[in-house]
């Protein structure tokens, strides 16, 4: 496996893969900005700004952290591991918050029905 890592593929293959990668990034970015107005009808501007700011922060933070990890530890791989751990924690937090929100909805509906 390490033999494949050390060999670079031809330029036209790398270029083609990068074009596919950028198309996927663009599709994901468009999908994210399309979802904001469907979930947040009244706060479209605010949430679009937050999403854009988060993207800008990621675009600034990722290269700096990877560069610092390469400088301090000799490899940017540790920076990717750090981001993977942070992403995993964010996903677990989002999952817990979603479960809590789903749990709270029936309670709120039940309270409305009982009070009416």
| Tens digits of residue pLDDT in 71-87 | 998 888 888 888 889 88
| Tens digits of residue pLDDT in 34-90 | 888 888 888 888 888 888 888 888 788 888 888 888 899 888 888 888 888 988 999
Distance separating alpha carbons of residues 80 and 86, to the nearest angstrom = 10
């Amino acid at each position: 496996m390490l033999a494949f890592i050390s060999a670079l593929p031809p330029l036209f293959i790398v270029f083609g893969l990068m074009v596919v990668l950028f198309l996927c990034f663009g599709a994901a970015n468009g999908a994210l900005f399309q979802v904001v107005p469907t979930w947040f009808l009244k706060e479209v501007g605010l949430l679009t700004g937050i999403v854009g700011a988060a993207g800008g922060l990621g675009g600034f933070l990722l290269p700096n952290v990877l560069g610092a990890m390469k400088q301090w530890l000799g490899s940017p791989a540790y920076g990717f591991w750090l981001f993977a751990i942070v992403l995993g924690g964010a996903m677990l937090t989002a999952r817990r918050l979603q479960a809590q929100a789903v749990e709270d909805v029936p309670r709120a509906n039940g309270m409305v029905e009982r009070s009416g």
